[in-house]
Amino acid sequence: MDQIYDYLVAFSVVTALPDQVPEKHQQTNTMLLEDSNERGRIIHICWGTYDVKKKILTDEYEYFIKPYKFTELSPETITKSRISNELMNSVGMTLSDAIHKFNEAMYLNYICKNASFCLVTYRDDGLMQILPRDAKEVGVKLANHFFSYFDIGEEFKKTYKVTNNFSSLNDYLSFLKYKETQEKTLGQVENKSILRLIHRLIDDGHVFQNPKALNPLHQLITEKVDPLVPNRSHQNKKWNTFIRGRSPEPFRNPSKKWYIRLRGLPYGSREFEVMEFLRGIRVYKEDVSFLYDFEGKFSGEAYVQLHNESDFKEALSYNLSDLGNRYIEVFETNENETMKAKLSQYPEKREMKTVANPNWAHLLREGTGIVKMRGLPYSCTEEDIREFFRGYNIIEDGVKRAVIAGRPSGECFVIFETKEDAHGALSLNMEKIGNRFIELFSANIRELEIFLYHNFSNNSPIYSKENMPSIPLDKRKSTLMMVGLPFHVTKSDIMKFFGNFKLKETDIHLIPSHSGRFSGNALITLEDELESQRALKTKNLSYINNRYVELYEYR
């Protein structure tokens, strides 16, 4: 099996020994003490990157951290860590600065290049207890890449099937007949040892897959849901069918499978967020598959396998429920689409698609300048964006904003008539629209093309046929689906929305969910196919009240 990740990032933290630590807790080869209450603060962070395809070490960095209320290191800490007070005073930085530098390196080297990576540590303590505690103390929120990692010791035992209870990284190196790593500091020793073990494991055919995942409380997410874990009271919701006198179905039905698609997920989502969104529904980590595009970028969609019909119907009723400040769409899908999503995590199996579209030729022509905006408020309109860039010439139809689940996102591409206009517009970086600071980035035609493909191609949603009205075959081509309607919308509101089109109330079908409530979707049948195409061009992504509405051809 081929490797899943492009890069593996060895990550180590070293802590200062607290005062009067019992001798039985002091390790000779690591600063990660067994009792979390007796750990000192982080004084050293080391990380190095291993290129999985080329099988080489590409980067190595270390940050010396001045602990909160730092005075000086104890003699015991200096002896074990090999870090002096003079070194700490000369190059030491705050933990928040170190985390910022690490995040910036991950973004510039991997995230913005659509390269996949995962952290590799020795033991769980660093990411589960030490780093979260110290980061919380200095007011730093940890980024998503700190919530997924491999433990090199556990990966080692998967390949070599050892039964020995190794107590240090030196034991793993000795097993491979490697000499002890020689470096200046303890952190460098640990990090270099992890990188050497990664190289040997990959050389021997080990595949780094299924990393450990942490929830927002920095606890391991296990495959099965533990009813004793706090904040799981919502699981009792699934017994409501039993209370009404219907016996619950078996957990799994091996003769049939059910699948749903979630669209509009935040780009930092992991399995835990999906499981929390589907609270009350029995979902395991392996049931969730995220969809990546052909360049390895997360699409904002996840596919979930469910195990019985009652869970499936309840999951569909969650359509347009919120996750944080995002509304998530839920559709019925099939096993074939779910398998495509599962395979998309493997770079060599992603579908290579051309994104060229003749309708975008005026947007993608040479000579124009392109700027990407990030951080737009939901209430911001195209007029606000054009006013923001007043004095710089934007082409007609040159403001392209992503819309997810009927709501505008904070991301937008703006196409200027010349590269000089775009370059001048970048001077407005971190200026405000309303009360929000707007980030501006220079972009190229390829980035814009991919953005248009994912947000403006007419990829209509997959929907359940169970609650759909019967539309005559001769009317199908003139029928459109509306997605993202406000829950309190009426047929009169929809007729007003299509004010210059011939539309009767009987041509409007508000679609209910499985629970009987309005789903936020509707079907409207126009006079003919020409009118439906005109509506697609003029009314798609327009407002009803305070909500953007998406229009699709009904298939």
DSSP string, 304-351: EEESSHHHHHHHHTTTTEEETTEEEEEEEE-HHHHHHHHHTTSGGGS-
Cβ-Cβ contacts under 8 Å for 170 (sequence gap 6 or more): 29, 180, 193
Q: What is the structure's pLDDT at 69?
A: 60
Amino acid (1-letter code) at residue 497 = F
| 7-213 shares its CATH topology with 473-553 | no
255 torsion bin: left (phi>0), alpha (psi -120 to 50), beta (else): alpha
- The architecture in CATH of the region 473-553 reads 2-Layer Sandwich (3.30)
Q: CATH assignment of 358-456, given 3.40.50.10300, 3.30.70.330, 2.40.30.270, 3.40.50.300? A: 3.30.70.330
Name residues of the chain where pLDDT drops below 70. Answer: 1, 18-39, 68-71, 112, 222-255, 294-295, 347-359, 403-407, 454-455, 457-467, 513-515, 546, 555
Q: Does residue 304 contact residue 288 with C-beta atoms inside 8 Å? A: yes
**Per residue, what are the HEC states of 376-436?**
CCCCCCHHHHHHHCCCCCEEEEEEEEEEECCEEEEEEEEEECCHHHHHHHHHHCCCEECCE
Q: Does residue 121 contact residue 78 with C-beta atoms inside 8 Å? A: no
Q: What is the structure's pLDDT at 350?
A: 54
What whole-number distance in Å separates Cα of residue 259 and Cα of residue 361? Answer: 37
Q: What is the structure's pLDDT at 446?
A: 80
What whole-number distance in Å separates Cα of residue 26 and Cα of residue 29? Answer: 9
Token pair listed for 506: 């009987």
Distance of CA 179 to the CA centre of its chain: 40
Of 531, 535, 508, 525, which Cα lies nearest the Cα of 472?
525
Token pair listed for 379: 């209430």
H helix runs in 149-290, sequence order: 152-160, 169-175, 186-203, 240-243, 271-277
Q: What is the structure's pLDDT at 392?
A: 95
Q: What is the structure's pLDDT at 492?
A: 93
The single-letter DSSP state of residue 220 is B
Q: What is the structure's pLDDT at 404?
A: 59
Element (DSSP H or E) covering residue 149: strand 148-151
The single-letter DSSP state of residue 225 is P
Q: Does residue 181 contact residue 175 with C-beta atoms inside 8 Å? A: no
Token pair listed for 483: 């997605």
Q: What is the pLDDT of residues 29-55, one digit of tens each?
A: 333 333 334 457 888 899 999 999 888
Q: What are phi and psi of 419, to 5 degrees?
A: -65, -30
Q: What is the pLDDT of residues 133-189, one digit of tens each?
A: 888 888 787 887 888 899 999 899 888 877 777 888 888 888 888 888 777 888 888
Cβ of 40: how many Cβ atoms within 10 Å? 21
Of 213, 207, 171, 236, which Cα lies nearest the Cα of 30?
171
113 torsion bin: left (phi>0), alpha (psi -120 to 50), beta (else): alpha
Q: In what order do the strands lie in the sheet with 369-374?
A: 394-404, 407-416, 369-374, 439-443
Q: CATH assignment of 233-349, given 3.10.20.30, 3.30.70.330, 1.25.40.10, 3.60.15.10? A: 3.30.70.330
Amino acid (1-letter code) at residue 68 = Y
| Cα four-point dihedral sign 339, 344, 345, 346 | positive
Q: Which residues pair with 521 in a beta bridge?
A: 483, 511
Which class would CATH give 7-213? alpha beta
How many CA atoms are closer than 13 Å to the CA of 347, on its beta-carbon side? 14
Domain ranges of the chain: 7-213, 233-349, 358-456, 473-553
